[in-house]
Amino acid sequence: MKRILLLILVFAIFASGCTSQVVEPGDFVSVNYVGELENGTVFDTSIEQVAMDEDIYNPSRTYEPLGFVVGSGQMIPGFDEAVTGMAVGEEKTVELSPEEAYGEYSSELIFDVPAEEFESANITPVVGEVIGIQGRPCTIVDVSEENVTLDCNHQLAGETLIFTIEVVSIESNDGNNS
């Protein structure tokens, strides 16, 4: 009798469509994450308490699960690949090479701009300041009378990144939610 009841229960679950949904390209997902460098330094997180504990808390930021469409180019390639196949509540840690993250550090993305261009735009360049050049954030790394040196590499370029990811929700591209 118990066996028959168990079979009926299993059949009812499958018939109702309550199977475990996994992330597929095109799905909108929400995830909590912690991003670390190889040396264990946490550089970003969606979890407020982790940010506080790691001394990277930003009071002007809202700490909540990160939402994105998988495979749409919103995320670094390795992150997209890591969440694909995960289910709600599943957590995993992945190590992403620079190629899977922000790419290798490139000396070709460091260049000088004549200081007079900053002067004519009424901008006082300051080392460490980030400015936008053709829609790309660039860091001012040196200022001289003649030139301002810019580094347009992503600040995490060349780094191997370690992410702990937990899927919070999935909105399937076919309209089903988990």
Which pLDDT does position 36 carry in this prediction?
A: 98
Q: Taking the model in full, what pTM does it have?
A: 0.79
Taken in order of first residue, the domains within the chain and their CATH numbers are 20-103+156-171 (3.10.50.40), 107-151 (2.40.10.330)
pLDDT tens column, 87-133: 999 999 999 999 999 999 999 999 999 999 999 999 999 999 999 98
| DSSP secondary structure letters along 19-66 | PPPB--TT-EEEEEEEEEETTS-EEEES-HHHHHHTT---TTS----E
Residue 55 has, within 13 A of its CA and on its CB side, a CA count of: 1
Helix (H) or strand (E) holding 78: helix 77-83
Q: What are phi and psi of 104, to 5 degrees?
A: -75, 155
Q: How far apart are CA 11 and CA 13, in angstroms?
A: 5
Q: Residue 65 is which amino acid?
A: P
CB 21: neighbour CB atoms within 10 A? 18
Which pLDDT does position 135 carry in this prediction?
A: 87
Residue with tokens 């400015």: 131
Tell me the residue length of the chain: 178
Q: What are phi and psi of 115, to 5 degrees?
A: -60, -30
Of 117, 21, 109, whose CA–CA distance to 70 is shortest? Answer: 21
pLDDT tens column, 13-29: 444 444 569 999 999 99
134 burial level (CB within 10 Å; 0-12, 13-18, 19+) = exposed
Q: Residue 14 is which amino acid?
A: F
pLDDT tens column, 149-162: 999 999 999 999 99
